[in-house]
Amino acid sequence: MRVVLTGGAGFIGSHLCDRLLADGAHVLCVDNLLTGRADNLAHISDPRFEFRRHDITTPIEVAGPVDYVLHFASAASPVDYLTHPIKTLKAGALGTWITLGLAKAKGARFLLASTSEVYGDPEVSPQPETYWGNVNPIGPRGCYDEAKRFAEAITMAYHRYHGLNTAIVRVFNTYGPRMRPDDGRVVPTLLTQAMRGEPLTVYGDGSQTRSFCYITDLIEGIVRLVRSDIHDPVNLGNPEEITVLEFARRVTAITGSRSEIVFRPLPQDDPARRRPDITRAKALLGWEPRVPLEEGLKRTLEWFAARVGSRA
């Protein structure tokens, strides 16, 4: 089995590399290292693994047979995609078009890493795959949301028009080791603040909700979807919903930090709630998350503690 994985040096991508190699696959990992890090792959010394530094918004040539093309390349944290809005749009648009072309040329199954952001600021909760979303196309998050919505549309067009074997995973908030401490997302930000004894920054009044899935659970779901013959989008995420303020309190408890919680302005178009309906993943993949938030946060904290300086 040979896999081409774009974004393989990123948080999710690097965990996927590990899992695919453990399952016996040959992996060609493609990444331009815009938001991914070579460090995430430094532990891999496997003759079945190849890394190519390449920007997937430009054409790529791959020699030999390919069984799966998995497109994970994109900035994914709000801070990252606000810093790189045009690169984000290109990764979702041109990057998806180019990787679909590669899958078509090789007769490979294609999997698109999409996102819960296609639901925008949802009026329906929990969000089932049948919900079309509530997205502001011209707002600051539009560069990511619309890139992924276009990516889903072109994936379905290749499936319907060319008969390409495609899959779409809608990834909800996921956390774990290898997130960049400075990526701006709530999990690495609050964990590092707590470890350093700095105030925990809660945006808005903290009443907005998220549902956090531990990385190993997500990877298991992705692998099941890759191996399936499902074409319709599938949500993967943890349905346990929590407010951001409550999340900050849990971080303080787990780290034993004496950091205070401070409130900062809510970013524009920040979704008020987000919770996956995982009925489809349960029924079609026999998948559901196993790692509770406490446990996942402890594992993540251990990893960050070994790398992030502490002033607490």
Residues with active-site annotation: 144
Residues 6+ apart with CB under 8 A from 228: 167, 284, 285
Examine residue 126 and say whether the peptide bond preceding it is cis (omega within 30 degrees of 0): yes
Which residues in 60-214 belong to E strands, given as ranges? 68-71, 109-115, 166-171, 174-175, 200-203, 209-211, 213-214
- Nearer residue to ligand UDP within complex by CB, 120 or 221: 120
- Nearer residue to ligand UDP within complex by CB, 93 or 261: 261
Q: Which stretch binds ligand UDP (CB under 6 A): 6-14, 29-37, 200-208, 287-295?
A: 200-208
78 binds ligand UDP (CB under 6 A): yes
- Nearer residue to ligand UDP within complex by CB, 209 or 216: 209
How far apart (Å, rounded) are the C-alpha atoms in residues 182 and 50?
27
Are 99 and 126 within 8 A, CB to CB?
no
Residues of this chain, 152-171, that bind ligand UDP according to CB under 6 A: none
DSSP H/E element including 15: helix 11-22
Question: Which two tokens mark 209?
Answer: 């909700």
Per-residue contact flags (x/-) with ligand UDP for residues 256 to 275, judged by CB under 6 A:
-----------x--x-----
Q: Which stretch binds ligand UDP (CB under 6 A): 33-41, 104-112, 201-209, 218-226?
A: 201-209
Q: Could you tell me the smallest distance in angstroms from the CB atom of residue 291 to ligand UDP?
A: 18
Q: List the one residue from 4, 28, 186, 195 that touches ligand UDP (CB under 6 A).
A: 186
Q: Which stretch binds ligand UDP (CB under 6 A): 23-31, 90-98, 145-153, 180-188?
A: 180-188
189 binds ligand UDP (CB under 6 A): yes
Q: State whether residue 294 is helix, strand or coil.
A: helix
Q: Could you tell me the smallest distance in angstroms from the CB atom of residue 92 to ligand UDP?
A: 15
Counting runs of H as helices and runs of E as strands, what totals does the chain give? 9, 13
Are 200 and 262 within 8 A, CB to CB?
yes
- Nearer residue to ligand UDP within complex by CB, 166 or 235: 235
| Main-chain phi, psi angles of 58, to 5 degrees | -115, 150
Q: List the one residue from 88, 127, 208, 255 that touches ligand UDP (CB under 6 A).
A: 208
Q: Could you tell me the smallest distance in angstroms from the CB atom of residue 66 to ligand UDP?
A: 31
Residues 6+ apart with CB under 8 A from 186: 210, 244, 247
- Nearer residue to ligand UDP within complex by CB, 10 or 78: 78
- Nearer residue to ligand UDP within complex by CB, 7 or 285: 7
Q: List the one residue from 84, 149, 185, 275 that touches ligand UDP (CB under 6 A).
A: 185
Q: State whether residue 145 is helix, strand or coil.
A: helix
What burial class does residue 44 get, using C-beta atoms within 10 Å of its C-beta: 0-12 exposed, 13-18 middle, 19+ buried? middle
Contacts with ligand UDP, residue ranges (CB under 6 A): 77-78, 173, 184-186, 189, 201-203, 208, 210, 244, 267, 270
